Structure 1
Amino acid sequence: MSSRTDWSILAVEAGSGEVLIESDPDLLLPTASVGKLFLLHHLAELLDADPSLGQLMLRKDSVDPVADSGLWQHLDAPALTLTDCARLVGAVSDNLATNVLLGHVGLAPVQAVASRLAPGGSMLNDSVRDVRTPDDPPTLSVGCAADWVSYFRTPHPTVLSWLAPSADLSMVSSAFGLDPLAHTNPDNGLQVWSKTGTDDGVRAEVGLLDVAGRRAAYAVICRFEGEVVPVLGQMRAYGTLLLDALQDGYHPDSGPAQ
């Protein structure tokens, strides 16, 4: 039985803006942890203004425990620097570090950043919650491919440094053949900086791919019903198309069937 899917997809050459892949790029869909990028961007701008903030110690117990993605919940360290919290969010989408950072800077300033950077309506709606009640925002974040491609055409370099070790290469990036735990430097001419989002019925990846100096900003967002494996297969197929596009092998009619 085939699953129902809604996609928002866009990839462009970062320099020229040439469209490489496109399908409903303005469609707003749930994006799970992708919206944490707005938090990271806000932190990067705060550090631009005052680099000493990066060494501020933030305590794990300043917020309620939260499960699922992340490492800090499994570590002994009772406190980490603000910068290390941001690194955990970039590398493993750490939920506890996300909530500690949001508790420190506040959600409203992060949402103001989202409103400035994402004219299509992409937004971080809330902190991470183990359980969402009817009184809570229904999703952690929403987003469209057009917003995220616009962001990754001129990303903040500090945000890129936090995303460089991102360990989740299960989606679009699964096509790139990189070591999930060691790809901060180019490998066979490839380098990727990406953020993923995973929730029930949601898979999303946004980022920047460099192939021998030619770069593409991309976003592939899917809301689906049914099995996840076919969705991941299509996301990998889009990754292959993206590689072909940067290697001058792209044919506009060769996109995977939806």
Structure 2
Amino acid sequence: MGTSPEPAMLRRSQRSSRRLPRRAAVGRRSFTATVHALEDLADAGAQVSVHVTDLDTGAQVIAGDDHVTLPIAGLGVVPLLIEVAARFEAGTLDPLEIVERTSTAPVIGSGLWRNLQAPALPLIDLAVLAATAGDPLAVNILLEQVGHHRVRDRIESLGLRRTAVLDRFRDVRGPDDAPHVAVGTAKELAALFSALVNSAAVDAAVSAQVAEWLSLNHDLSLVAASTGLDPFAHEHDAHGLLFINKTGRDRGVRAEAGVLAGPRAGVSYAMIVGFDDLSIAHRLRAHDAFRVLGVELMEYTH
């Protein structure tokens, strides 16, 4: 498979005191466009964080502020799903237990279940809704079922020191509520997805279950936009592309982590962008940076 390029780094932003060291990557697969896109975002005042690791060699491919804890919105669902799968496997949570939608406070701003006629669903279906659509009602019920403290303990057991699930989904966050659903770092999130595909997140059975749920994710609009996969049927790609991901979205927050593997190589990746969501143009500029990373990940793995 050829020698991996040196890890690309981001330079210091002209408008920020954040440390963004620059070391140009070498070779054909150097992620130069991604570095430039993220530097432009940082120069415009955005907070950017990225980490990509080669799954075969364990080498860091690109990194920038990957240790900085940032809001990750719905990406916090991943450690919750790991705890749910672990409890299913241990028999301490019944996957077929039926739970009423009205058992939790309504969240009317987003979600799929609120538009369905079924007033109750089994917990295992709620896990699928959480993984595929980031459904806030499903996530909130799962969090209540397993307990916030157990999710926190699971995060610690996974070795994640700068990642936390802070709160449930809410339509409005008051002064007494946590400011974000979840926070994390690009480095830890990339490592978490690497653990999932390497059967190291709790154990092989839990890793496989969570990876299966995440392989059904419908949001392929950021990094995954460059894969050409069908958002609704991509778990068995005809071209042998292995892909799982989860995104996080909130006002001024875009985040994605996942695994992409092709015939040449495989990578785990995570990218977080915090930006001033002042206009559609600001939002699209952040989205474009994710898609640039996606293009270069495809080039790296193919």
Contact 1:99 1:127 in 2 (8 A): yes
Structure 1 partner of 2:162: 121
1:229 to 266, 269, 284: 284
- Paired AA for residue 253 in structure 2: V
Match of 2:34 in 1: none
Aligned to 2:250: 199
Specify every segment of 5 or more residues in structure 2 that has no aligned partner in the other structure, as ranges: 1-39, 197-206
Shift of 1:118: 4.4
Deviation at 1:213, TM superposition (A): 7.5
Give a deviation string over 1:86-144, Cα, whole Å, max 9, x none. Answer: 00000000101011111211111111112222434111100111100010100111110
- 1:219 maps to which residue? 270
Contact 2:264 2:300 in 1 (8 A): no
Q: Tell me what 2:75 maps to.
A: 34
What are the superposed Cα offsets for residues 1-39 of structure 1, whole Å, 9 maximum, x if unpaired?
Answer: 974211110111123211222111111111011011111
- Higher-strand-fraction structure: 1
2:225 to 141, 152, 174: 174
Runs of 4+ in 1 over 6 A off after TM superposition: none
Moved more, 54-63 or 10-19: 10-19
Contact 1:55 1:83 in 2 (8 A): yes
Give the direction of change, closer, same or farther, for the CA distance of 1:35–1:52 in structure 2 (3 Å limit).
closer
Measure, in 1, the Cα distance between the counterparts of 2:237 and 2:144.
35
SS class of match (1:58): strand
Q: Which has the higher contact order (CA 8 A, sep 6+)?
A: 1
Q: Which runs of 5+ in 1 are unaligned?
A: 248-258
Contact 1:173–1:239 at 8 Å: present in 2 too?
yes
Name the counterpart of 2:91: 50
CA distance in 2, matches of 1:61, 1:213: 48
Is the radius of gyration larger for structure 1 or structure 2?
Answer: 2
Alignment of 1:1-258 (within 5 A): 3-50=44-91, 53-155=94-196, 156-212=207-263, 214-225=265-276, 226=278, 227-247=282-302
Contact 2:75 2:256 in 1 (8 A): yes
- Tell me the amino acid that sits aligned with residue 182 of structure 2: S
Q: Which residue number in structure 1 is paired with residue 7 of structure 2? A: none
Q: What is the TM-score of this pair, normalised by structure 2?
A: 0.78
* Residues paired across the two proteins, number: 247
Paired with 2:216 and 2:137, the residues of 1 have a C-alpha distance of 18
Could you give the per-residue CA deviations for residues 141-176 of structure 1, whole angstroms, max 9, x where no partner exists? Answer: 111011111111121111111111111111111111
Query: C-alpha distance in 2, partners of 1:237/1:154?
Result: 25
What's the TM-score, normalizing by structure 1? Answer: 0.91
Question: 1: CA distance between counterparts of 2:238 and 2:61?
Answer: 23
